[in-house]
């Protein structure tokens, strides 16, 4: 374990920030843990770009020569944006942070503001790792910090007044990139497919998060009955895709049964071998064609009107 920050180390570390008018808040800093917290700054609202923001800077030095700079941008009761980077130079860290203006971390959607969390690196474009927003009294979050090729997590927090039993295709009607929702203790969870590589990965994270937020804002502003009426055709499309494995299973069994009963097999050993191999080939082909998800054999429910009149427990529904 490294020793606490000395006064000399503190004076050396804060130099690049002090030259930009930032002062260390010694009361909030932790010398023992080698963490320096700087005074807060307020950014006035810029209509269309970002709301009023309170900026906080934290510099962590877990060991000499290794620096972790974190910037948080808090809104009044809304989402919080975050940017962070690891570097060996405080000056490089500050320059990289300055290259990401606060306006680049917020986007406006129909129901409010969305905030994005970025990972920075000197001389590299920012990467989006996560996003958050408040939608109709619920917290919407996306986490995309996993390995390349994995989908991003989508989480919808519970409404303070309680929630109805949402249909699991609430987000899947947006397209095949969005998966079915599952309920958990904190609310609801789903995933959305995103590209593997930058810069398209960050572009799609932002676009799909905003599309999700706008979709939920419109859905929760209307009645559950309206959701089924507006998305009836898409719900049936979701049903077709989620039952694809069941369809292929029935097809494979039917084709195999027909061929085994056919007299043409008697004189053709090659055809008999093909009948034995074909079901496996069809199954593997369906796996690679349908999706990257783990296959689920299920009989999904038929889409129908939702059995509740409000999305949440209060009268404003």
Q: What is the full per-residue pLDDT of the chain (317 aa) written as tens digits?
A: 688 999 889 999 999 999 999 999 999 999 999 999 999 999 999 998 999 999 999 999 998 889 999 999 999 989 999 999 999 999 999 999 999 999 999 999 999 999 999 999 988 899 999 999 999 999 999 999 887 788 999 999 999 999 999 999 999 999 989 999 999 999 999 999 999 999 999 999 999 999 999 999 999 999 999 999 999 999 999 998 887 777 777 777 777 676 666 655 555 666 666 666 666 666 666 555 554 555 555 677 899 999 999 998 754 44
Helix (H) or strand (E) holding 44: none
Residue 89, helix vs strand vs coil: coil
Cα–Cα distance measured from residue 240 to residue 188, given in angstroms and rounded to the nearest whole number: 23
What pLDDT, on the 0 to 100 scale, is given for residue 64?
86
Q: Please classify residue 212 by burial: count the beta carbons closer than 10 Å to its beta carbon, then call 0-12 exposed, 13-18 middle and 19+ buried.
A: buried
Q: Within 10 Å of residue 263's Cβ, how many Cβ atoms?
A: 6
Report the pLDDT value the prediction gives residue 246, as an integer from 0 to 100.
72
DSSP assignments along 201-251, one per residue: HHHHHHHHHHHHHHHHHHHHHS-HHHHHHHTHHHHHHHHHHHTHHHHHHHH
- The reported pLDDT for the residue numbered 274 is 63
Task: For CA atoms 230, 232, 237, 243, give the dihedral sign.
Answer: positive
pLDDT attached to residue 292? 53
CA-CA distance, 310 to 313, in Å (whole number)? Answer: 7
Predicted TM-score of the model (pTM): 0.86
How close are the terminal C-alpha atoms of the chain, in Å?
54
pLDDT computed for residue 254 by the predictor:
75
Q: 133 with 79: CB under 8 angstroms?
A: yes
Strand partners, 87: 67
Q: What are the Cα distances from residue 60, in Å, to 51, 64, 84, 126, 130? A: 28, 10, 11, 20, 21
Strand 187-192 to 152-157 pairing: antiparallel
Provide the pLDDT for residue 299: 76
**Structure-derived torsion over alpha carbons of residues 277, 280, 282, 288, reported in degrees to the nearest 10:** -140
Q: Which of 61, 73, 62, 67 is nearest to 96 (CA)?
A: 67
- Dihedral sign, Cα of residue 104, residue 109, residue 114, residue 118: negative
Delimit the domains of the chain by residue range: 1-102, 244-290
């Amino acid at each position: 374990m490294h020793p606490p920050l000395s006064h000399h180390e503190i004076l050396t570390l804060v130099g690049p920030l002090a030259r930009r008018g930032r002062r260390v808040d010694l009361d909030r800093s932790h010398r023992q843990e080698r963490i320096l917290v700087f005074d807060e700054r307020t950014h006035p609202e810029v209509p269309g770009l970002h709301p009023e923001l309170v900026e906080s800077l934290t510099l962590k030095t877990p060991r000499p020569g290794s620096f972790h700079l974190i910037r948080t941008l808090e809104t009044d009761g809304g989402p919080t944006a975050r940017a962070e980077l690891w570097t060996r130079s405080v000056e490089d860290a500050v320059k990289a942070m300055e290259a990401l203006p606060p306006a680049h971390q917020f986007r406006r959607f129909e129901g409010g503001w969305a905030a994005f969390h970025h990972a920075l690196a000197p001389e590299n474009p920012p990467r989006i790792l996560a996003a958050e927003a408040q939608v109709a009294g619920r917290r919407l979050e996306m986490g995309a910090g996993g390995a390349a090729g994995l989908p991003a997590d989508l989480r919808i927090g519970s409404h303070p007044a309680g929630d109805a039993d949402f249909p699991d295709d609430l987000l899947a009607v947006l397209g095949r990139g969005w998966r079915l929702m599952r309920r958990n203790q904190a609310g609801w969870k789903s995933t959305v497919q995103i590209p593997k590589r930058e810069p398209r990965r960050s572009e799609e994270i932002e676009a799909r998060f905003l599309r999700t937020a706008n979709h939920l804002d419109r859905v929760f502003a209307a009645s559950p009955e309206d959701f089924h009426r507006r998305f009836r055709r898409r719900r049936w499309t979701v049903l077709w895709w989620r039952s694809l494995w069941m369809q292929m299973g029935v097809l494979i069994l039917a084709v195999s049964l027909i061929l085994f009963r056919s007299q043409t097999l008697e004189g053709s050993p090659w055809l008999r071998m093909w009948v034995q191999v074909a079901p496996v080939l069809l199954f593997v082909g369906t796996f690679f064609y349908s999706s990257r998800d783990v296959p689920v054999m299920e009989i999904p429910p038929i889409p129908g009107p939702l059995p509740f009149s409000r999305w949440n427990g209060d009268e404003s529904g």
